[in-house]
Amino acid sequence: MRAETVEVLKLSLHGETVGYLAGYQSGRNIFVFDQRYTEALDRPTLTLTTMPSFPNATKTLGRPWITQQQLHPLFSNLLPEGAYREYLAQTLKVHPNNEFPLFRQLSQDLPGALVAGPLAPEQVPAGLLLHRDSVQPVLKPWVQARTHFSLAGVQMKFSMKHRDGRYLLPVSSTLGDGQELGDWIIKTPSTRHPWVPLNEYTAMQLARLAGVEIPEIRLVPLADLEGLPPINLPQETYAFAIRRFDRSEQQRIHTEDFAQILFKYPHEKYSSANYEQLGRILYRFTGRGLVNVQQLARRLLVNLLLANGDAHLKNWTLHYPDRQTPELAPAYDILTTKAYIADEQEASLNLGGTKLWYEIGWAHFEAWSKQVGVPWRAILPHLEDVLDKARTLWPQALEESPMAPEHKGILKQHWQALRADFQIQV
């Protein structure tokens, strides 16, 4: 039997131990729930799939989650994609697909309320390391390194603290008990696509005018950002800022996106579900099922009207305001993606059997409503309200918005190309 080093993290939610994550030198990762957590009737909800009402919840709680290199999707989806992952991997001198070191480094400031901390060898529960019978585990002491934050997604973005009119990166020395948490997500301009902050700010404002629930948003001068790492930035003036809905007065609010709920990895976010599935989950398992589905319907139509082709699984999230009951979280990451993909004409997921924007009409939304299990009469007035607000308010709001003129023109052309059901005259 060969020896293999292993590190162990204790995962906690609102101060309660949820379980333990062991990361082996070979890349094998094993998560095991804490028995006291699984037996507690009033436990805080880690994921909707472990709620007593969810199918196979007992089985999900009772078995170890064993993966290689990547973590289980519930944890893997907490990690950033793209540029920030590459930056972090280079800092840690590990491969970007080796996720345990990334998770360990980000463990004190993950999205939502989950926190992970190291266990010394003498603290590891008996029996935790018995799930590998071909190696002799050798516990590796914890080495403290500079703490980072985690924000899932491809775009370079930062969790920052707003103070005295400026935005600052929380420093590692403030992390730990009583730590200072970032309360705003700051998205810097892209070196690949021009004017993304102006695009997203405008799209989110239009969505709000149509009755979509969004957090507070701002355009922030780049000169007001302090402590950013050395990254390339284009010659633009503003970053996009959105208040974190998983933070409130230095308290963590637990969240999970639909890739986590469905146990899908980030690369499956476009291909492994449809909007009917999202609606059924909201209707059956959330606290305000009908209200959440009605809000989902609004957002689906708004995404269509705004030519947003990036409303994939990771851009829909549940949050747990009371620590146990899931509700649909405010909307985020809404922008006119057609401004950057000239021939784009598809939604991220199927709606009523199609993704094609210029085919979708009332019948597709009615078919969606039927598949979700919600009466059409409970959905139609919300869609009609969206359309009325969009036709009444959007043309002038778009003209007055900071969106780049060429992007405004693309959006107006999109409105004219939609089926007559959903066209907006300008």
Which among 214, 266, 244 has a CA at the least distance from the CA of 111? 244
Measured CA distances, 75 to 29, 247, 264, 411 (Å) = 11, 19, 11, 36
Which among 383, 352, 396 has a CA at the least distance from the CA of 211? 383
**Which residues have C-beta within 8 Å of that of residue 397, sequence separation ≥ 6?**
205, 206, 209
CA distance 98 to 88: 11
Which among 352, 20, 14, 394 has a CA at the least distance from the CA of 207? 394
The yes-or-no answer on residue 310 being catalytic is: yes
Query: Looking at the DSSP assignment, which residues form a beta bridge with residue 160?
Result: 184
DSSP 8-38: EEEEEETTEEEEEEEEETTSEEEEEE-HHHH
CA-based max dimension of the chain: 73
Which among 166, 176, 283, 281 has a CA at the least distance from the CA of 227? 166
**Which residues have C-beta within 8 Å of that of residue 283, sequence separation ≥ 6?**
289, 290, 292, 293, 372, 373, 374
Question: Do 129 and 137 touch, CB atoms closer than 8 A?
Answer: yes
Task: Write down the catalytic residue from 34, 109, 310, 333.
Answer: 310
CA distance 321 to 337: 31
Pull the structure tokens for residue 359.
Answer: 């085919």
H or E element, residue 225: strand 225-226
In degrees and rounded to multiples of 5, residue 422 shows phi and psi of -120, 10
**Which residues have C-beta within 8 Å of that of residue 225, sequence separation ≥ 6?**
158, 160, 166, 167, 186, 188, 239
Pull the structure tokens for residue 305.
Answer: 């009207």
β-strands 135-139, 2-13 pairing = parallel
H-state helical runs in 79-210: 82-92, 99-106, 196-209
Q: Find where tokens 């999707």 sit.
A: 73
Residues annotated as catalytic (active site), given as ranges: 310
